[in-house]
Structure 1
Amino acid sequence: MLSQLRRIVQDVAQEPSLDSALAGLVRNVKHALRTECCSVYLADYEQQHFMLMATDGLNPDAIGKVSIGFSEGLIGWVGQREEPINLAQAHLHPRFKVTPEVSEDCFSAFLGCPIIHHRKVLGVLTIQQSDSRIFNEDEESFLVTLGVQLASVLVNAEMRKVSAGTSTTQQNSQMQGLIGAPGIAIGEGYILQPASDFDAISLKHSDDPEKELNRFYRAVKVTKAEFNRLAERMSGHLPADALAIFDVYHQLLDAASLGNEIEAQIKLGWCAKSALKLVVERFARQFDDMDDPYLRERGTDIRDLGQRVLNHLLETEQRQHRLPAQVVLVAENVTASMLAEIPRAQLVAIVSLKGSVNSHAAIMARALGIPAVMGVDELPLMQWQGQRLIVDGYQGHILVSPADAICQEYRQLITKDAELSARYQSELHLPAQSSCGQNFSLMVNSGLAIEIETTQSEFTNGVGLYRTEFPFIMRSRFPTELEQVELYRKVFQGYPGKAVVMRTLDVGGDKPLPYFPISEENPFLGWRGIRLTLDHPEIFLVQIRAMLKANIGYNSLHILLPMISDLAEVDESLRLIRQAWFEVDDEFNSENIVAKPKVGVMIEVPSIMFQLPELARKVDFCSVGTNDLTQYLLAVDRNNPRVGNLYDAMHPAVLRALNQLGQQAHGLQFPISICGELGGEPLGVLTLAAMGFNSFSMNHSNLAKIKWLLRRIDLAELRLLLPDVLACQSPKQVRVLVQRFLDQKQLLNQLRA
């Protein structure tokens, strides 16, 4: 049963068009369950109905013509209840709707199962039989399991329809993702590190079969040469019968075998990658179905062969693909090293197929001031290459190959955004002070692009968070002490006379070092931050010494310890910092040159929130990392798009924890600031200001907007709102309250186009 399920889902995923995929689906389900009829209806939310898209047993002429309203008939009932409906005599049920066009009078038994993705009903899968009986538990379980697995395959039906179109087809398709960074951009999709597997390849037609044939021939030639080298290298280590596999590969690539089939598909209009995918997967499935174990293994050989040819096709394509003037970087997971490869003047937006609102990629996008949409994993990666894209970071939308009229509308929004930004910038030189006279300390989060981040240094109170991990991530080895000194000195030079809070190395989780891989089942609860560096004091001590040396002559250094969950970690860190200070002081042979830095702790692990009095006696300050604190309080992996909608720093539980934290720190006279993303968002900063927080560190791109907003706010009015905010039951209610406050102040429409 499990193998049947897997095969049905694979067949649907691999069919070149949605119509043929659904036709194969109902045929295979009918055969697997030995029933008399199987049908599938897909939801159309614009028309508010389910459309019959495929059937094996009902009138085939009704396909694409017969629809059933969301509140009508048994199909509508399955959709409304979002659970299976199993009836022995369906025609006697009060919800049964007579639809003469489908010719279902002969059927009595009915089993309908919803197809649901992210709480949204995509369609209904049904089986029917003439006998009056209840379908048994195995049959119902089969259909439910199939519906769950089909959901991810059918989630983007519109894109599946157009993916078989030519490269010139105007798709006008909209993808929905998660908001990563605000803003709007128009550019061309560019895949920096394309995934070289068939799952990443969507089927596309080509207008130039001759060109595609030549590309295929070149890839075959390179692959054959590769097999010759492998055979020669292994000839002294393998027996002759084992080496024969390379001869088999050669024969399979010849025109009489796979090659002939692939050429035929290219001549039918498919591009080389698509033709290769269609033929390889079809042949591999045929071998998989064979009873003989030896022959079944040949399916693996077919896939290996196809993978090698695909790799060479993709390498050639990537070399030929120019870097667009306006790059929308698309990747499975956007990394700092990827961003470094794109000239900043050309990078206009980011699309990450994985990740969510506060994943590392989203934070980097906000640091650069470019829009980003995360968690768009339904469209195969290669489908994005070369497409004109509109990235709407306000709504989490991506428009693929939009019409010129739509682009013009968005260009007007981009112009309006630029006008608002100029308005904020015009007040950047003014004090960070509320309308009632309350002063704020506004600092910047730095570390990704120091040249950009220091352009506004004179209008800030310094660096509230310097992420030292970026220089580590960008290298192929651990940076030396001297290299770190030079890096950190540039930061102090950029902010003369102002505090610079440097966080010690914070890697692990979603920030791996390429030369220090960490394999863990749950990295966010594992070996990361201070846990890693305390286990490797040689890394920690070198970094602290570099910070101390770079600080000579500036006396601006504050050291921030990440991922602290226990007071013993604080004690050990302080011991190592003292050791590093003595070492540097001895090196310079003077107590007056090397200043002792202030040391603080990041509040991001919930356990340390309950040890604030003890913490205040050990360190000089604390800084709240709202990103990880939210993640740990809500038990939500902030990189997982499946639960991305549950991650929200405006959650009432998070806000209540922050309010208690602020009150306790104030009572202890313990300096506290906010360095997480919440402190750089208008709604978040207002809520935190109402709680009494007055020190915020944010991305440099948000600085002017936040200062502009705070200058128009009376804290007395804002504090009146706080009890209602803390009494809310959902993040949505919180946002409505704060937005209503801004609307009453006539400020809401001045915060975005």
Structure 2
Amino acid sequence: MQNALTGLVSSVKQALTTECCSVYLADYEQQHFMLMATDGLNPDAIGKIAIGFSEGLIGWVGQREEPINLAKAQLHPRFKVTPEVSEDRFSAFLGCPIIHHRKVLGVLTIQQAVDRVFNEDEESFLVTLAAQLASVLANAEMRQAASESNKNQTQNGQLKGLPGAPGIAIGQAHILEPANDFNAISLKRSDEPDKELAHFYRAVKITKAEFNRLAERMSGHLPPDALAIFDVYHQLLDAASLGREIEQQIAEGWCAKSALKRVVEKFARQFDDMDDSYLRERGTDIRDLGQRVLNNLLDTEQRKIKLPDKVVLVADNVTATMLAEVPREQLVAIVSLKGSVNSHAAIMARALGIPAVMAVDELPLLHWQGQRLIVDGYHGHILLSPAEAICNEYQQLITEDAVLSAAYQQEIGLPSQSACGKRFSLMVNSGLAIELETTAPQYTDGVGLYRTEFPFIMRSRFPTEQEQVELYRKVLEMYPGRPVIMRTLDVGGDKALPYFSIVEENPFLGWRGIRLTLDHPEIFLVQIRAMLKANLALDNLYILLPMISDLAEVDESLRLIKQACFEVSDELAIELPKPQVGVMIEVPSIMYQLPELARKVDFCSIGTNDLTQYLLAVDRNNPRVASLYDAMHPAVLRALYQLVQQAQGLQFAISVCGELAGEPAGVLLLAAMGYSSFSMNSSNLAKIKWLLRRVEMSELALLLPEVLACTSAKHVRLHIHRFLEQKQLLTQLRA
């Protein structure tokens, strides 16, 4: 990083034809800005001169978080004389903060001897550069933290993400699907050149074989001159071309991936800089070639990696198929570099009862492999290669959590009711991986949400009707005499089918849920037929329609369900009972059509995850705005209160199946509003039952007006925490 900053200040000085450019980086432990690079000030001051956060013009730029442009800097009252930097000759000063995710990382400055205010173009240039520099600096800091924690096992590198699922775990990082991208490769040395060379040769051999297969496949479709590109690729991989350069880099001590990255990027840049358009395009060929070799290098490494005993699964975006590849007894935590607290990966982690941290996007994926990690899902913290003493402290917390969990389990067989006798229906969300969802069915009131998409996601084709019948039958039989609410196929957004690609700019506002299945009635009808056949002689099936935004979608769905009922009755020559049909309330538009909806369907269930996303206009998978996603937002809570009041007036059955129903604070507020039916991940059911048995409805009635009057989610949580403290429940809910 030091070399990069040195090059940066020289380039800026030259580009703006000014006399000095400097970079100061923030040190929050020491509460000062340190001079890290300069072209114009005393070079001996680099790494030695620190300016406090509240001192001088540099501190002022950091405090104000905006550019400061002065013609006579030395006359300004905030100017601090620092003889060691030798800036006496400079008068004009322009300083710009370097800010990443609202945090000031440093200050970029330019200076000049003449008394003048830098013009708008110069200021705009510096602001633009500082904004671009911010993400690079944040990335570099994370890389450095990871690198240092690898070298020094007693020093903890701590990363911050979003708390995706509660709990604490200690394990070893395992990347199931590395990001095959040169941007994710950090340069590393190796003291085993022969081994690295063997890896490279193996990857080249596989890549050449791929090119041969591609050329053979395309030979009947492309003219000979177009097929010549495959010969060019072969030649580039030979020792006389790129191959020789890569071999040389490995001999100089770089690992195979790093050598490949250095050579490919070097040649690609050379082609990019050429004037001839044809030659410039060859840079793309070089990158394509390098990408293919990199993929094969990483695949070879991946096959050699043995799963650790305690796996912390780290991925760019954790998917259901990734979870299925790690044995449940070895999986202790999830870290997803993308996503948010209610992305699909976080929901899966909560369903499995394992901690998760989301949106840790600053650290390149390949830095994680093999590292020992502490994952704190309560606060969203990750400790890289922690010291043994730190591990012991966290192990104590894990033990305390286990004691609390055992206390909840002791009461799981008791009635679901408040301390004053108010009865509740506590159901489970299921379907992500039924074999992993362990709560005994007899302790629940049924399944409030069965996600049918998992068997679709796990296959390489659409499941047949018979395959679906067998799967649904197994679920319905587990809950005899109790409702099993099966949601029709809900893919799109962050749930993709590997064999049915949907590429959209705004997937959460696009072709997903009922919109997709109504456009493909052959998929919808087969699924409904399978549900109906699975329900024979059991009669505990309820059908739930997702992503409804318009009453016409309800009408068309009901028509198709009626058609499927007729087809199955005709096929089996029996009278078929029509199951109850409900609608998910998750799109704001349907909130205002509840009276019409109540006349068409039997019940409704609120999906708080998507409802929150759409009410707050926050893409829950976008790490830049994921912190704005909060189901405790006053607007969300007021919408939920209005919904239950309206449903009660209509005598329309309503329940909550979103993640809010499985959170202690959330379920208290929902109960206070008048909701009595909740569906949650099985791992939360014992805790929620334990909590509800310790509160009075009269107490919650006093809490509700205070909460609904709050102006922020932070204030909502403060009120609930105060309530739990008064009840002496806060410390008993979490270690």
1:277 to 238, 261, 265: 261
Residue aligning to 1:390:
374
Is contact 1:86–1:111 with CA below 8 Å preserved after alignment?
A: yes
SS of the residue aligned with 2:533?
A: helix
Task: Return the alpha-carbon distance in structure 1 between the equivalents of residues 450 and 424 of structure 2.
Answer: 20
* 1:708 corresponds to 2:690: yes
With over 3 angstroms needed to count, the CA separation of the structure-2 counterparts of 1:296 and 1:32, relative to structure 1, is farther
With over 3 angstroms needed to count, the CA separation of the structure-2 counterparts of 1:305 and 1:338, relative to structure 1, is same
1:47 Cα shift? 1.2
Residue aligning to 1:626:
608
Query: Letter of the aligned partner of 1:40 in structure 2?
Result: V
TM-score (norm 1): 0.93
Residue aligning to 1:14:
none
* 1:649 corresponds to 2:621: no
Residue aligning to 1:109:
92
1:659 to 623, 636, 641: 641
Deviation by residue 1:30-77 (Cα, 9 ceiling, x = unmatched): 222222211111111111111111111111111111111111111111
1:599 Cα shift? 1.1
Task: Return the alpha-carbon distance in structure 2 between the equivalents of residues 625 and 237 of structure 1.
Answer: 50
* 1:603 corresponds to 2:608: no
Task: Return the alpha-carbon distance in structure 1 between the equivalents of residues 466 and 418 of structure 2.
Answer: 43
1:669 to 648, 651, 664: 651
Query: Letter of the aligned partner of 1:604 in structure 2?
Result: E
Task: Return the alpha-carbon distance in structure 2 between the equivalents of residues 435 and 226 of structure 1.
Answer: 68
With over 3 angstroms needed to count, the CA separation of the structure-2 counterparts of 1:493 and 1:243, relative to structure 1, is closer
SS of the residue aligned with 1:618?
A: coil
Task: Return the alpha-carbon distance in structure 1 between the equivalents of residues 455 and 531 of structure 2.
Answer: 13
Is contact 2:148–2:157 with CA below 8 Å preserved after alignment?
A: no
Is contact 1:249–1:305 with CA below 8 Å preserved after alignment?
A: yes
Query: Letter of the aligned partner of 2:32 in structure 1?
Result: H
* Equivalent residue runs for 1:476-515 within 5 Å: 476-515=460-499
Stretch moving more, 739-748 or 286-295: 286-295
With over 3 angstroms needed to count, the CA separation of the structure-2 counterparts of 1:454 and 1:638, relative to structure 1, is same
* Equivalent residue runs for 1:295-314 within 5 Å: 295-314=279-298
1:733 Cα shift? 0.4
Task: Return the alpha-carbon distance in structure 1 between the equivalents of residues 574 and 284 of structure 2.
Answer: 69
SS of the residue aligned with 1:147?
A: helix
Residue aligning to 1:159:
142
Task: Return the alpha-carbon distance in structure 2 between the equivalents of residues 113 and 752 of structure 1.
Answer: 43
Stretch moving more, 418-427 or 405-414: 405-414
1:589 Cα shift? 2.1
Identity, % of aligned pairs? 81
Is contact 1:112–1:125 with CA below 8 Å preserved after alignment?
A: yes
Task: Return the alpha-carbon distance in structure 2 between the equivalents of residues 612 and 621 of structure 1.
Answer: 11
TM-score (norm 2): 0.96
Query: Letter of the aligned partner of 1:296 in structure 2?
Result: R
* 1:191 corresponds to 2:171: no
Task: Return the alpha-carbon distance in structure 2 between the equivalents of residues 379 and 397 of structure 1.
Answer: 14
Residue aligning to 2:354:
370
Q: Which runs of 5+ in 1 are unaligned?
A: 1-17
1:409 to 376, 393, 403: 393
1:300 Cα shift? 2.9
1:167 Cα shift? 5.8
Residue aligning to 1:40:
23
* 1:126 corresponds to 2:99: no
SS of the residue aligned with 2:169?
A: strand
Task: Return the alpha-carbon distance in structure 2 between the equivalents of residues 717 and 580 of structure 1.
Answer: 48
1:503 Cα shift? 0.8
Query: Letter of the aligned partner of 1:474 in structure 2?
Result: M
* 1:26 corresponds to 2:24: no
Deviation by residue 1:266-325 (Cα, 9 ceiling, x = unmatched): 344432212221232233223323344444344333323322322222121111111222
Is contact 2:150–2:385 with CA below 8 Å preserved after alignment?
A: no
Task: Return the alpha-carbon distance in structure 2 between the equivalents of residues 603 and 247 of structure 1.
Answer: 57
Is contact 1:165–1:204 with CA below 8 Å preserved after alignment?
A: no
With over 3 angstroms needed to count, the CA separation of the structure-2 counterparts of 1:484 and 1:242, relative to structure 1, is closer
Task: Return the alpha-carbon distance in structure 1 between the equivalents of residues 640 and 221 of structure 2.
Answer: 65
Residue aligning to 2:552:
568
Is contact 2:143–2:364 with CA below 8 Å preserved after alignment?
A: no
Residue aligning to 2:518:
534
* Equivalent residue runs for 1:725-744 within 5 Å: 725-744=707-726
Deviation by residue 1:115-153 (Cα, 9 ceiling, x = unmatched): 111111111111112222222222211111111112111
Stretch moving more, 449-458 or 357-366: 449-458
Query: Letter of the aligned partner of 2:532 in structure 1?
Result: L
Residue aligning to 2:568:
584
With over 3 angstroms needed to count, the CA separation of the structure-2 counterparts of 1:31 and 1:458, relative to structure 1, is same
Deviation by residue 1:725-751 (Cα, 9 ceiling, x = unmatched): 001010000001001100111110111
1:173 Cα shift? 0.9
* 1:139 corresponds to 2:136: no
Task: Return the alpha-carbon distance in structure 1 between the equivalents of residues 468 and 553 of structure 2.
Answer: 24
Give RMSD over aligned pairs: 2.1
SS of the residue aligned with 2:44?
A: helix
Is contact 1:359–1:510 with CA below 8 Å preserved after alignment?
A: yes
Is contact 1:167–1:206 with CA below 8 Å preserved after alignment?
A: no
With over 3 angstroms needed to count, the CA separation of the structure-2 counterparts of 1:285 and 1:619, relative to structure 1, is same
1:432 Cα shift? 0.7
With over 3 angstroms needed to count, the CA separation of the structure-2 counterparts of 1:30 and 1:743, relative to structure 1, is same
1:68 to 17, 34, 51: 51
Query: Letter of the aligned partner of 1:101 in structure 2?
Result: E
With over 3 angstroms needed to count, the CA separation of the structure-2 counterparts of 1:22 and 1:441, relative to structure 1, is same
1:231 Cα shift? 6.4
Task: Return the alpha-carbon distance in structure 2 between the equivalents of residues 612 and 492 of structure 1.
Answer: 29
1:549 to 525, 533, 536: 533
Residue aligning to 1:465:
449
Task: Return the alpha-carbon distance in structure 2 between the equivalents of residues 256 and 58 of structure 1.
Answer: 47
Aligned residues: 734
* 1:751 corresponds to 2:721: no
1:559 Cα shift? 0.9
Q: Which runs of 5+ in 2 are unaligned?
A: none
Is contact 2:143–2:367 with CA below 8 Å preserved after alignment?
A: no
With over 3 angstroms needed to count, the CA separation of the structure-2 counterparts of 1:535 and 1:236, relative to structure 1, is closer
Task: Return the alpha-carbon distance in structure 1 between the equivalents of residues 515 and 685 of structure 2.
Answer: 32
1:588 Cα shift? 2.6
Stretch moving more, 424-433 or 307-316: 307-316
SS of the residue aligned with 2:684?
A: helix
Query: Letter of the aligned partner of 2:645 in structure 1?
Result: Q
